[in-house]
Chains A and B, each alone.
Chain A
Amino acid sequence: MITISDLRKVYRQGNNDVVALDGVSLEVPTGKIHGIVGHSGAGKSTLVRCLTLLDQPTSGTVAVNGKELTNVSDDELRNARRRIGMVFQHANLFDSRTTEQNIAYPLELVGTPKKDVAKKVSELLELVGLTQFAKGYPSQLSGGQRQRVGIARALATDPDVLLCDEPTSALDPQTTDEILELVKELRNRLNITVLIITHEMHVVKQACDSVSLLEAGKIVEHGDIEAVITNPSGRLAATLLPLPGDAPQVEGAGPVVDLLYTGDQATEPVISGIARKFNTDVNVLAGSVEHLGDQQFAHLRVQFAPDADLGAIVEYLKSAGIAVTVKEAK
């Protein structure tokens, strides 16, 4: 479990104070994968640096399993850091070391006996599927393989939290999915808490249980994927489950309505249900239906006949647990 409370970071830039983090609070329970998304400049990098204490936060605390990382001595901080495994965007492997030597690095630091190091390293190599590359150097590996080595290295100290900073941003789509699969698999096997910082919505959809939207140093939206995706007033819903780019705007006769729904409703024949119950025509203008995690989500834009009883239909949909937004004609 990782607990971040009221984290603030203010940089001094010339005569101005720049607030990079403005009171970020967050808790990720053990065994969950949480995504923090935001555009560049939102404070993601600062957050990562403050979480690992590479930069000292101005105020606020970071704790792993109840043990604080902030406000401790250098010695304690070094030990506490070993509770967090970190994966970097560009892997940051040591070029002068072979794959196995890279993974052994965190173990060497505390003088682990050679035999134990060798055993742990071969376990980790197997875990990330790179056993045959043990003696190779990072320059001989592909981007995805390097990232796997980075993950293995991050896990060498059996950390409680895996912190991933843009782990797939330098990878192609297929490798991205492989790495995310690996992260999910590791979470399932090791019951590790994972925090993924990214600008890619795809990563959130693919791997995360919950998500936070970081904007101008603040978390402006937060919740489980299911909750944020079915919240029509939220900003994450529209980006996580967008309508196709050329979705027709409101035009012609008849009211246009956006529907967001999940799980059970997604499998029920909502549209034909309306058509039958209200004896009206329903036209689907655009829609996307996706499987996220083990849930199904749908985002539809539909148009009813001009004479339809909009009030009653909306009432009916809402009672079925569907989020409804009536689009105003321009």
Chain B
Amino acid sequence: MDFFTELLNNPGITRAMWPATVETLQMVLIATVFTIVIGLPLGILLHNTGKGGLLPVRWLNVVLSGIIVNITRSIPFAILMVALIPLAKAITGESLGPVAASVSLTIGTVPFFARLVETALRDVSSGKVDAALVMGSTKMQVIRKVLVPEAMPGLIAALTTTVVTLIGYSAMAGLVGGGGLGRLAYNYGFQRYDMGIMLVTMVIILIMVQIVQIAGDIVARKIDHR
């Protein structure tokens, strides 16, 4: 039997690979949605409470930036995951599985995404914000109609990077009970030393990352009129 027929007869691949892939996609998708929902407003708040923002509030900026974002970002993700298991259980009712893992994935990537959002917004020239204000915009209108649309190419790039990071994190989440491709690779590839499964897992993840990156680049280019 050659290498490929062996792969096709490997139950680890024929039976376990598809559900694991679905679990990984599930984790990444849930975490992406919540990362945007929480991270985008947080990033906007970070930018606008900072110096030169629309609403500079020093203490709030220090709290958001220093405490929440920097502290969360400085804890290694593998450790953060384990530490957040009780929280995941409190929110989802389970401590294992892809849905539970999405909680810690989200909390792990929100600060990362928020920082990228802040950077993208900072790239919008202050002249455009001034112009919007001089024309009589409210602060909310400046954010919705100027800051976010003008930063959109940067925001899409930030989202692409975040989703790629999430795919990486999801493999780590697999090791501590999240399931998905991470667990598959660990159980078969590491513990049984099944090279075939290891290889197929890597190819699948590689394809996922490529699709996300290419799609992100296409969208970013399409909406970039600068």
Contacts and interface: CB of A to CB of B under 8 A. Distances in A.
Interface in B142-172: 145-146, 149-150, 152
B147 to A, nearest CB: 10
Contact of A54 (B133, B137, B146): B133
Given A90-B127, A94-B128, A96-B150, A157 B133 contact: no
A82 B137 CA distance: 10
A105 B149 CA distance: 13
Contacts of B226: 95, 139
Interface in B29-52: none
A106 interface: yes
A139 B141 CA distance: 23
A105 B138 contact: no
Interface string B112-138: 000000000000010110111111111
Contacts of A110: 136
Interface in A85-106: 86, 88, 90, 92-97, 105-106
A137 interface: yes
A78 B138 contact: yes
Nearest to B139: A74
B127 A105 contact: no
A108 B225 contact: no
B135 A157 contact: yes
Contacts of B152: 96
B142 to A, nearest CB: 10
A43 to B, nearest CB: 18
A92 B127 CA distance: 6
A109 B134 contact: no
A88 B135 CA distance: 12
Contacts, number: 63
A81 to B, nearest CB: 5
Contacts of B134: 52, 54, 81, 84, 86
A95 B150 contact: yes
A79 interface: yes
B223 interface: yes
Interface string A108-127: 11100000000000000000
A86 B152 CA distance: 26
Q: Which of A94, A96, A139 has the most CB of B within 10 A?
A: A96
Contacts of A81: 133-136
A78 B141 CA distance: 12
A265 to B, nearest CB: 44
A163 B150 CA distance: 24
B136 A109 contact: yes
Contact of B136 (A88, A93, A97, A157): A157
A101 to B, nearest CB: 10
Q: Which of B130, B132, B135 has the most CB of A within 10 A?
A: B135
Contact of B131 (A86, A137, A157): A86
Nearest to B129: A92
A96 B133 contact: no
21 contacts: A54-B133, A78-B137, A78-B138, A82-B135, A86-B134, A86-B135, A88-B131, A94-B146, A95-B225, A96-B149, A105-B132, A105-B135, A106-B135, A106-B136, A109-B136, A109-B141, A109-B145, A137-B225, A138-B225, A139-B225, A153-B135
Given A88-B127, A93-B128, 11 more contacts: A52-B133, A78-B137, A82-B136, A92-B127, A92-B131, A94-B149, A106-B135, A109-B138, A109-B145, A138-B225, A139-B226
